[in-house]
Structure 1
């Protein structure tokens, strides 16, 4: 069953599902999520995680909302209603172009200068502060909210560098290092929270594919590579980052970009696999989002730097 809220950039909408008076749903289309509040006795859950009474949880595209002991599964999808945002689009058209409208011949510096500043979702902030990696929304070719952008990119032959019957590897649209790819399964898995023991073979295959990609490019980079997942990603559909540790990219622009890949916010692929083997699921520690505010620290020598430009200048000593 699909509950669908039409995109309205000026208003918030509230929905009480008929005959299910135990939950209240408030959708904020401008920020791209639905706030679910448990108000009755019948249990409600998101991706098999129960919501406590009077607790409010954000439901994002790709997640599944279960009502009344999982009898009623719902998903959400943000779509543009006909005529609702045409005038606004016309106003924006002359003012500035979105990243996807840039010419393919323009440099990566030009692309990155027009994207948003954050790379991951900080649970203490709104979805407006989302990733540059996540600015993969396209008004013509993409369908739905920007958080579904990976599902569009993984189908794009121009983005693909490898694929088989289980996974596809694409170039990160806004790389945070000289070499940055994403390994995505064809199987629909919304996030780390949805992983279970039956996904072990797939996770190990994703790791092997990532290792093969590294082997193909290891002779071109002095820096090491890492394979891992963001603990709290903002893009729906699970994806494994394969990234060189030089972090030499104009798309790496702020502290959150840096800390999302150099602190425990970035979970090593092997650690995720081991966690599934032992516990049957992935647990994210409380306070993980606070890691994004950590001081800027060199990932090689651990010397702290004050600003991103200073950090980048410092990194040159290690990789040039």
Structure 2
């Protein structure tokens, strides 16, 4: 057997002895991460970071639903508002401190709050301007997630945490009802029939 043939046989033999687990691990390492983990990547991206403290980081929302749309996240690993307890009151107060700073830095009215059923992993508070003008605002679900009771104001969450030591989940029925609510302007009584009509109407509120 010549040298080249011997080396080829030896290499094939080594590969065939690799365990199935090793092969699976190699394959898994190349799998793309689930979209719900996207915030964890954005927290590490210098271009996404707006502010940072010892406890929190403020990042730009990758798909903003208004002219101003930021997210405040804890550096500690807390999955959602439903993992909060009494020991996290100070953390939420730090969220509020950052929110107040941002209010002073922009000349648009801002709101701060949490989605009742978060879609992304890692606790995050939305800081968003009420204009709701953005090409990323496309669907009724987008709209209702920020303009109905599905969007839980920061003050409400903090108060509930102080009083009960935890946050109560909404029911699947309530979730479905809020998402299917009829469209209505968040700045007047106008009720458009479609999202394009709503988006056109929102421009009338721009000063």
Query: Which band: TM-score by shorter chain?
Result: 0.7 to 0.9
Cα offset for 1:303? 1.8
1:204 maps to which of 70, 93, 99: 93
- Structure-1 separation of matches of 2:95 and 2:28: 41
Q: Determine if the alignment matches structure 1 residue 318 to structure 2 residue 205.
A: yes
Q: Which structure would you say has the larger Rg?
A: 2
- Structure-1 separation of matches of 2:88 and 2:80: 12
Which stretches in structure 1 are left out of the alignment for 5+ residues? 1-79, 90-138
- Structure-2 separation of matches of 1:302 and 1:277: 34
Number of matched pairs: 182
Q: Determine if the alignment matches structure 1 residue 250 to structure 2 residue 139.
A: no
- Structure-2 separation of matches of 1:84 and 1:244: 40
The 8 Å contact of residues 231 and 288 in structure 1, kept in 2 or not, is answered as no
Q: Determine if the alignment matches structure 1 residue 262 to structure 2 residue 151.
A: no
- Which residue matches 1:226? 111
The 8 Å contact of residues 159 and 171 in structure 1, kept in 2 or not, is answered as yes
The 8 Å contact of residues 160 and 168 in structure 1, kept in 2 or not, is answered as yes
2:66 maps to which of 161, 177, 186: 177
Give a deviation string over 1:255-276, Cα, whole Å, max 9, x none.
0000000000000001000000
Which structure ranks higher in relative contact order (CA pairs < 8 Å, sequence separation ≥ 6)? 2
Which stretches in structure 2 are left out of the alignment for 5+ residues? 1-23
| SS of the residue 2:157 aligns to | helix
Give a deviation string over 1:261-303, Cα, whole Å, max 9, x none.
0000000001000000111111123233120111111001132
- Structure-2 separation of matches of 1:192 and 1:288: 17
2:168 maps to which of 276, 283, 307: 283
Larger proportion of helix: 2
How high is the TM-score relative to the length of structure 1? Answer: 0.54
Q: Determine if the alignment matches structure 1 residue 155 to structure 2 residue 44.
A: yes
Cα offset for 1:84? 7.1
The 8 Å contact of residues 296 and 304 in structure 1, kept in 2 or not, is answered as yes
1:292 maps to which of 179, 187, 195: 179
Give a deviation string over 1:173-228, Cα, whole Å, max 9, x none.
000000000001101100111010000000011111012112101x2x3xx21100
2:126 maps to which of 241, 263, 266: 241
The 8 Å contact of residues 230 and 260 in structure 1, kept in 2 or not, is answered as yes
1:190 maps to which of 60, 79, 91: 79
Larger proportion of strand: 1
2:189 maps to which of 299, 302, 306: 302
How high is the TM-score relative to the length of structure 2? Answer: 0.83
Flag the 1:83–1:277 CA change in 2: closer, same or farther, 3 A.
closer
Q: How does 1:1-320 map to 2 (within 5 A)?
A: 82-83=26-27, 139=32, 144-217=33-106, 219=107, 221=108, 224-286=109-171, 287-290=173-176, 291-320=178-207
